[in-house]
Structures are given as structure tokens and as C-alpha cells.
Structure 1
Amino acid sequence: MTAIDRLSRNRVEVACDVDIEQSPESLHAYAVPDGIDIRPGDTVIVHADRISVGFGEHIAYRCPATVLRAGPIARAWTQLAGLFELTELYEVGFMPKETP
């Protein structure tokens, strides 16, 4: 992130729920800011120490976070880029099998 990005974005300080699990049932890491909707292009920075979760472990905790709101141009660009990424999934997921 450049200095211009830092100046042009709105910053919102919030509490955040962090949920990390590494097990046979699930491999995930979620950071959910409280009381704020995350929109396309927004960035969430979690202010916590680095966590290492071993196999079979699950950790959930609360910590502070900063939400950097995207401006209108960045938001529009993110939505447009997301459409192209979605069509790439269609292309890969539904390709016919090649026969030898």
C-alpha cells in the first residue's frame, strides 16, 4: 500500500472476531469485523500477534482491526476484475474431458 492509498482511504477502527482451524473437517481462517459491512475493494488489517495453529487445533479470539474503505474507482475496478475471475472459474470447471 502506498502513501497515497493511506491518505485517500477512510479508516475505521473496529473490534474483530478471528477464527482459525486446521483439522480434517476444515482448513480456514476468518476475520470478521464487528458492526461494519465489508464491500468490494475494502481491506481489513487485523492487529494481533502471529498465530500458529497445529493440525487438529481450533482457535477463536477477539482483537482490534482497521478497515480501509476503498474509494469509488477502486471499488468499481474490484467488481469488474471479480467478474473476469468468475468467468475463469467457469472455463476451468466445465472444460470437456480430452480423450486419448
Structure 2
Amino acid sequence: MGNILSWLTGGRTIEVPCTVDIEQTFDSLHAHAIPEGVTLRPGDRVVVHGVPAGVPYGETLRFTGRATIHRAGWLARAWTEASAILELTELYHCGFEPKEAS
């Protein structure tokens, strides 16, 4: 019973090394956290430890740290996938209406 409940609700955590790339320049503003040796699935949460939250303007920095991955269970994965599809359909309603005659 415990394994079935864990499979449905998740709760498993994994510690992995993580590469973090942060850039704040005229050309780009981004922060990427790339956990190593694990494939992320819909609904998984990643918490990155031991790296700065940002960099000064004009700099690009790359760090190696640790990440804790909280695995989503089947219910959370199904909910994440379904809500992503529903949110994607919102994009279909973007200005394809005919112009009114002047």
C-alpha cells in the first residue's frame, strides 16, 4: 500500500550536482539550472543550493552546485500535463478576429 501511495503522490527526493548559468547583459537576461545525471519529468520541482541568486549587470557567470529534485507522483504529473495543454489552447485566441468595417 505504501508503494502505491508513493507512486500516486510522489515525495521521493534526489540530490544531484547541478550547473547554473546566469547572465545579465544587454543581449540576454537568463538563469539556467541544469541538473546532471537525471531526466526531469512534468511536475518535478528543483531546488538549487549554494549558488548566488543573481549577477551584476554586464556579467555572465557559471557555477557548479547541488540540486534537490522533488519527484512528482503520477497525479501531479497528470495534472501538470493536462493544465499545460489547457493553457496552450489559450494562445489560440490571439487576434484572429476580423477587423470591423470603418
TM-score, length basis structure 1: 0.81
Q: How does 1:46-57 map onto structure 2 within 5 Å?
A: 46-57=48-59
* Counterpart for residue 35 of structure 1: 37
**What's the % identity of the aligned pairs?**
44
* Structure 1: gaps of 5 or more residues: 1-6
Check the 8 A contact 2:10/2:71 in 1, yes or no.
no
Opposite residue 51 of structure 1, the aligned amino acid is: A
Single out whichever of 33-42 and 43-52 deviates more from structure 2: 43-52
Per-residue CA distance 1:43-69 (angstroms, 9 max, x = gap)? 000012443312211110100110010
What residue number does 2:17 align with? 15
Residue 4 of structure 1 corresponds to none
Partner Cα separation in structure 2 for residue 21 and residue 27 of structure 1: 5
3-state SS in 2 of match to 1:40? coil
Give me the whole-angstrom Cα distance separating, in 1, the residues matched to 2:60 and 2:71. Answer: 30
**Over alpha carbons, which structure has the higher Rg?**
2
Match of 2:27 among 15, 22, 25: 25
Q: Which letter maps to 2:46?
A: V
Which AA in structure 2 matches 1:12? I
Structure 2: which 5+ residue stretches go unaligned?
1-8
Offset at 1:21? 0.5
Q: Distance in 2 between matches of 1:57 and 1:49?
A: 15
1:80 aligns with 2:54: no
Q: Normalising by the residue count of structure 2, what TM-score does the alignment of the two structures yield?
A: 0.80
Question: Are residues 62 and 49 of structure 1, via their aligned partners in 2, closer, same or farther at CA, if it must alter by over 3 Å?
Answer: closer
Larger CA deviation: 7-16 vs 38-47: 7-16
Q: Superposition pairs for residues 61-80 of structure 1, below 5 Å?
A: 61-80=63-82
In structure 2, C-alpha distance between the alignment counterparts of 1:14 and 1:41, rounded to whole Å: 18
